[in-house]
Amino acid sequence: MKPLAWMAWTWPTGAFFIFIAVCLITMFVWEMVKPGGDPRVGVLGLDTTRGDRLFISLLGSAYIHVAWLGLTDLPLWWGSVVCGFFALAVFRWV
């Protein structure tokens, strides 16, 4: 039996978790190079740090994907593109 075969890895799920890991590492490096400083108040009226904005982006993206699957028959990649714009908006204005 291959190592970690019980986890039933696939390329898409592996790529997904690598993406999450890359996001976290990027945030870490960004913070080391250029600290984000104190939380700021955005359009939602919430105090958010960069980490908070990443969390909101990831959680919001998960919901966008779920809504995409549940409400449309369009390719999921289009939903991922929408999520990309959503994340940019969150980092810019939230």
Partner 1 sequence: MITKTVNQKAWFLVLPVLLIVALNAVIPLMTVVNYSVQDTFSPGVFFFEGTKWYKEVLSSPRFHGALGRQFLYTAIILAIEIPLGVLVALAMPRKGPWVSACLVLMALPLLIPWNVVGAMWNIFALPDIGLLGYGLNWLGFDYNYTQQPVSAWMTVILMDVWHWTSLVVLLAYAGLSSIPDAYYQAAKIDGASAFAVFRYIQLPKMKRVLIIALLLRFMDSFMVYTEPFVLTGGGPGNSTTFLSIDLVKAAIGEFNLGIAAAMSILYFLMTLLVCWVFYTAMMRGEES
Chain positions contacting partner 1, by CB under 8 A = 1, 5-10, 12-13, 16-17, 32, 35, 37-38, 46-47, 55, 59, 62-63, 66, 69-70, 76
How many angstroms separate the CA atoms of 90 and 94, rounded?
5
Residue 52 makes CB contacts below 8 A (sequence gap 6+) with 39, 46
Asked if 81 and 75 count as a contact pair (C-beta separation under 8 A), the reply is no
Q: How far is the CB of 88 from partner 1 (least distance, A)?
A: 20
Q: How far is the CB of 76 from partner 1 (least distance, A)?
A: 6
Of 55 and 85, CB closest to partner 1: 55
